[in-house]
Each structure stands twice: as structure tokens, then as C-alpha cells.
Chain A
Amino acid sequence: MSLLDSSLWEVIVASFDPEIWKGLVVPIRETLYITAISSVIVLIIGLILGTLLTLTNPDGLFPIRVLYTTSGWFINVLRSLPQMVMIILMVPVARLIFGKSYGTNACIIAIAASCIPMYARIVESSLLEIDKGKIEAAKSIGSTVRQIVFKVIIPETLPSLIRGFTVAVIAVISMTALAGMFGAGGIGDIAVRYGYQRFQHDRLFACVYILVVLVQITQGVGNLISNRMLKKRNLI
């Protein structure tokens, strides 16, 4: 059903048709799959990169100026590319790794390349938030750099890291939809093929509902966990 020949209300009603939702089961699964895998990759590599960035900072615990400057520069380069350009740019890379330049796995590379630098910066700013006195106390007790990172800095900033990760997952979801345009499947693919190319706005609306719900759930869960942690620590 299209907005071209039906009223908004009719399209909204039609968007809840079980037939439409049956056709969305597979795309939803694809979107969840892409989001989950990409988020895990973004989490792991972003955390490592962000921690490295914080440590090698000239004022950090393990200053290595060359590494700090080059990795900072590299991250900025990646961050300056719009998501769509990144997807196009990663086409040959995906072909090199998976043998084909389209499909769910191929788009995970583009998502990772785009969201890792973002999350790394968020991690960096979260880690820098820590009260320097705590690091000083840990040092004065005789902690090694590794102990300071894993027993003090990361646990102390965990609520903020979780909030940052929530932002990153939402960016991943939005990019998943975009990647649908380039043969990645998922909700974005349905939105483009039916909503844009065939004017089936009822299907488009259904896609919108799903994306909104996904983002709301992500944000809600992130807030819940982070707030629980702060409450447990008696900080709010």
C-alpha cells in the first residue's frame, strides 16, 4: 500500500498486517545478527584501541608519543569518512577477505571500520574522566601499569564505558540499515527495496517501527545497567 493512493491512516493500519511482518522475520534476524557481531567486534577492538590511546598519551601511564600521535591521526582519518563512503571503500576489502563484496559478513567490515574509531574515542574520553588521585593512590600502593588499568581505571569508569557502548551500538544499528542499500540484507534492505523502489509504504513503516524499538531497547538496557551500577556504588 502506498501513500500515493491511500491515506496515512490506511497505510498505518496496513503496516500491521501479519503478511508484512511474516516477510520481516528473516530481515530482522539478519539485522540482529549484523548488529550483534559488529557490536562485539567494535567493543573489543574499540576498548583496546581507546585504552592504548589513553595510556600512550604524553600525560598517560605509559607515554609513547609516536604511537599516540599516529594512532590518533589514523582514527581521525577513519572518522572523517561518512558511513556510506566507508561502505563503498570497504567493498574491495570485503572481496579480499570473504571472496565477495556484498552480503551480511561483508558489511560487518565496513561497520567495524566506521564504528571502532568512534567507540575508541568514546572509550578514551571515558577513561580520561577518572580522578587522577585514584591513579596516584594505586601507584603509591605499588600497582603495576597493568593492575592500574584492569583493577582501577576500567572498573572505576565502567558506568561511563557502558553508556558509551550504548551510543556505539545505536550507531551500528543505523549503519546496518544503511548497509542494506549495498546488498547487506536486513531491515534496511527491505526499506529500500519495498519502501523506496516500489512505494510500499506500509512495509517501510514496519521497518521504521522495528528500528525505533531496537534503538529504544538498546538505550534502555544501557541506561539500566549503568544506573544500577552507580546506585550500587552509592554515587547517585
Chain B
Amino acid sequence: MSYIEIRDLHKAFYPHGERLDVLNGVDLDVEKGSIYGIIGFSGAGKSTLARCINRLETPDSGSIKVDGVDILKLGKKELLKHRQKIAMIFQSFNLFDSRNVYRNISYPLEIAGVPKKQIKERVDEVAELVGLSGKLESYPGGLSGGQKQRVGIARALVNKPDVILSDEATSALDPQTTLQILDLLKEINKKSGVTILMITHELDAIRYSCSHMAVLEEGRFIEKGNVKGIFNNPKSRTGELFAKVLKEFQDNNFEEGGGI
């Protein structure tokens, strides 16, 4: 059985009274410790899928199992515990401006009731890992985009999560910073074995960091599999399109790690 197992997931929204099917029968299997890319154009339902996994969004039907636990059947308290183990990083970082870097990173431990001394040890450890040791007293308002995302990653890591949901985490960053952040995520994945679900519209980000990927279109996976396989032999329209964009990209000798 896979680590994350999603079966026949459906979710509809009613934005203007009209039914909009965002997820239309999604199946997904992610192996433990892998970096799995989910790509799709905007509006394909990528973020909704991610938000279903930590149940910020409740699906209409289907099942989501993480490590064998059906998270749609969790009670309120169990859900909060579950969320502490599924960390999320965001495109807009979503740091707390009222807290300095240290207290941003320590927040998940603070709400989990971890003793202060242990918090300090863990925060120092994580800050070192993401390269923020000298910035602990700064406030997010004074940091660059890349540094902000490092804080976001540290905040996600501090609770030793089983899964990191990366929702367009590099989409607001310049190519060079994107590369650094992707390297950091890869390093973390290698060191701690955390499973990373990387949701993005940037093909390069996936090609650079993921082993497996899935292409989401209109609320459905139209293609799934090995990253290399999909790039070399795209069966789907989206896969084809992305591969074409990528080929042009390579032909023009752009640097690796940029946006499309």
C-alpha cells in the first residue's frame, strides 16, 4: 500500500450558485520518502487537492489515506494532530509578521505544548539546516523572498512532519532563488525521508526535483508516472504541451530552474 493513497476524490464548489467540479475523481498513490510532482495549469484543481490532504477543504466523496489512516474519518482533535504532521508551504509564504523568525519557526511547537528548552534546541537545529541561524531575531518584513520561504520551510519542518505539501512554493521566486529552495527541499527529503508533494505549474521545478509526477487537468489526472518517461513520451495533451514548452526552453539554452 502506498503512503498517500487517494481514491476517487470529488469536490465541487458553488461560486456563483453554479456547480463547478474542481476535483473529478482523482486517484493518486505516493510512495513514502519520495518527491512527487503535481502539475497543471491554473484552475486545474491542484491547490484544492493539496488542501484536501490536510483537510483545509473537505471533499464531497472519495477517500484519502495517509499511512493507512483515513483522514476523512478523523474527529476534530485527531484532525488537529494530523495537521501537525502534514506541513504546508505556500507561494505567498504566509509568515506571521508579528513574530520574529525564531518565533515563526517555533510556532508549531508552541501550539503543540512542547517545553521551551526543547523548542529552542529544535528551532536552532532547523534554522541551521535551512541556513537562517543568523536571522533568528529578524522580522519577516525585512527578509528577501528566498529567506522568507526558508522560514516557511523551517516552520514546516520543525514538527518533524511525515509529509510536506508544497503549494507553488517557488512560484513567487526568481530562477536562482527557486533553484536554491528546490535544492533545500531535496536535501531535506534526503536527510529526513519526509515525503514531499510538490504542486506547481513550473515544469522545471518538477523536472529538477521529482522522481514521479502527475498531470492534472480539469480535476482529473490525465497522466501519471515516472518524470523522465512523461517528458520523453507524453501521451496526454497537457503532457505534450508541457514537453513542447520545455523543449523550446532547452533549445534556447535557458538556465535550469527558471519559470516557463
| Chain A residues with a Cβ under 8 A of chain B | 131, 133-134, 136-144, 147, 151-152, 155-156, 158, 232-235
Assess whether B94 is in contact with A232, with CB atoms less than 8 Å apart: no
Whether A151 lies near B56 (C-beta < 8 A) is no
Residues of A within 8 A of B98 (CB): 155-156, 158, 233
CA distance A143 to B96 in the complex (A): 14
Bits for B108-143, please: 1 = Cβ < 8 Å to A, else 0.
101110000000000000000000000000111110
A152, B96: Cβ atoms closer than 8 Å: yes
Whether, in the assembled complex, B221 has its beta carbon less than 8 Å from a beta carbon of chain A, the answer is no
Q: List 8 A-B contacts (CB under 8 A).
A: A137-B95, A137-B96, A140-B87, A141-B107, A158-B98, A233-B98, A234-B140, A234-B142
Q: Is the CB of B94 within 8 A of A131?
A: yes
| Contact B83 A141, beta carbon cutoff 8 Å | yes
Provide the bound-state CA to CA distance between A147 and B113, in Å.
12
Cβ–Cβ < 8 Å partners of A136 in chain B: 56, 90, 94
Within the complex, the shortest CB–CB distance from A232 to chain B, in Å, comes to 7
Task: Give the tally of cross-chain contacts (CB within 8 A).
Answer: 73
For B109, give the chain A residue with the smallest CB separation. Answer: A141
Q: A156 with B97: in contact, given A133-B90, A141-B107 (CB under 8 Å)?
A: yes
The 3 closest A-B pairs by CB, nearest first: A234-B141, A234-B142, A142-B83
Residues of chain A within 8 A of B110, CB atoms compared: 151
Do the beta carbons of B83 and A140 come within 8 Å of each other? yes
| CB-defined contacts of B107 to chain A, threshold 8 Å | 138, 141, 151
Q: Check B111 against A151 for contact (C-beta < 8 Å).
A: yes
A236: min CB distance to chain B, Å: 9
Q: Once the chains bind, are B87 and A141 in contact (CB under 8 Å)?
A: yes
Contact of B111 among A147, A155, A233 (CB under 8 A): A147
What CA separation (Å) do A234 and B95 show in the bound complex?
A: 13
Residues of A within 8 A of B92 (CB): 131, 133
Check B54 against A140 for contact (C-beta < 8 Å): yes
The residue among B84, B94, B159 with the most chain A CB atoms within 10 A of its own CB is: B94
Known: A155-B96, A233-B98. A142 touches B84 (CB 8 A): yes
Is A156 in contact with B56, judged by CB distance below 8 angstroms? Answer: no
Instruction: A138-B107, A142-B108, A235-B141 are known; give 4 further A-B pairs, CB within 8 A.
Output: A133-B94, A141-B83, A152-B96, A156-B98
B97 CB contact (under 8 Å) in A142, A143, A147, A235: A235
Is residue B81 contacting chain A, with contact meaning CB distance below 8 A? yes
- Residue of B whose beta carbon sits closest to that of A148: B111
- Chain A residues with Cβ below 8 Å from B241 are none
A147 to B80, CA, bound (A): 12
Cβ-defined contact, A139 with B111, below 8 A? no
In whole angstroms, how far apart are the Cα atoms of A134 and B140 in the complex? Answer: 13
Q: Give the distance in Å from the alpha carbon of A133 to the alpha carbon of B96 in the complex.
A: 10
| From A137, A147, A155, A158, contact of B90 by CB (8 A) | A137
B99 within 8 A of A: yes
